[in-house]
Amino acid sequence: MSDTLFTGPPAEIAPGAVHLPGWLPPERQAALVERCREWAAGPAGMLRHTMPRGGRMSVAMTSLGWFWRPYTYERTLPDGTPVRPFPAELGALAARAVEAAYGAPPAPGTPPYDVALVNFYDADARMGMHQDRDEAALEPVVSLSLGDTCVFRFGNTETRTRPYTDVELRSGDLFVFGGPSRLAYHGVPRTRPGTAPPALGLTGRLNITLRASGLAADPAP
């Protein structure tokens, strides 16, 4: 099947929420999967976080730039080890993604993209409806999907429930949500195991979100 079958024009799913199918070419997808393998190796590793009420997330994740755990960003890992730095290549990717979604790159002087969450979904992993609201900045969230297709549920800012739109996110798809949709509830009710492009050598789904934390890199002591 042609990879270009799924490339298409940007689709506005909600005001400020844009889906760009097949935005990342296959060779860039493969390179990014390799980078994810490096990032997953440490020092934080892929963690399935425990939620405040005791449940364990089914998605395994690591973060770059800042250490995310429910529901905060920290400058170091729990044992004091520095967090793996946010790679410059991801900052450049975020800027290109914002431009592709909205027609203009992030304005000069806006809070920089400085944190990436790398999420891994095995066949059983899901992510419940939530808002991305641990950031102190409201720059758009940039989301890249690799590997298995998933159902991405994109809702509204008021409730975890309807109205929402289910979108299939395939390997290479870009989804950007900002502006009036920046705090919309969203989640991943399921993936479609075995749908990853074979050339990626990936069993499961990776999702990378790029965000501006809005947090000071070197807060005053």
Ligand X SMILES: O=C(O)CCC(=O)C(=O)O
Interface of this chain with ligand X, residues 35 to 94, rule: CB under 6 A: none
Residues 1-20 that bind Fe ion (CB under 5 A): none
132 contacts ligand X (rule: CB under 6 A): yes
Binding-site string for ligand X from residue 196 to residue 215, where x marks contact by CB under 6 A and - marks none:
-----------x-x------
Rounded to 10 degrees, the C-alpha dihedral 27/32/35/39 comes to: -170
Give the chain's length.
221
Percentages of the chain per state (helix, strand, coil), in multiples of 5: 20, 30, 50
User: Among 16, 57, 100, 132, which residue sits at the site for Fe ion (rule: CB under 5 A)?
Assistant: 132
Shortest approach of ligand X to residue 218 CB, angstroms? 26
DSSP notation for 144-195 = EEEESEEEEEE--SS-SSSS-EEEEEPTT-EEEE-GGGTT--EEEEEEETT-
Nearer to ligand X, 132 or 168 (CB): 132
Q: Which is nearer to Fe ion, 132 or 168 (CB)?
A: 132
Near Fe ion in 96-125, by CB under 5 A: none
**Residues 6 or more apart in contact with residue 58 via CB below 8 angstroms:** 48, 121, 122, 124, 125, 126, 127
The nearer residue to Fe ion, 84 or 211, going by C-beta atoms, is 211
Give the binding-site size for ligand X (rule: CB under 6 A).
11
Binding ligand X by CB under 6 A: which of 188, 200, 210, 212? 188
Specify the residue, 108 or 215, whose C-beta has the smaller distance to ligand X. Answer: 215
The one segment of 39-47, 76-84, 128-136, 146-154 that binds Fe ion by CB under 5 A? 128-136
Beta strands in 28-181 (DSSP E): 60-64, 67-69, 72-74, 115-121, 127-130, 141-147, 149-154, 165-169, 174-177
CA 169 to chain CA mean position, Å = 12
Report the interface residues with Fe ion, using CB under 5 A.
132
Which positions lie near ligand X, rule CB under 6 A?
117, 119, 127, 132, 143, 152, 169, 186, 188, 207, 209
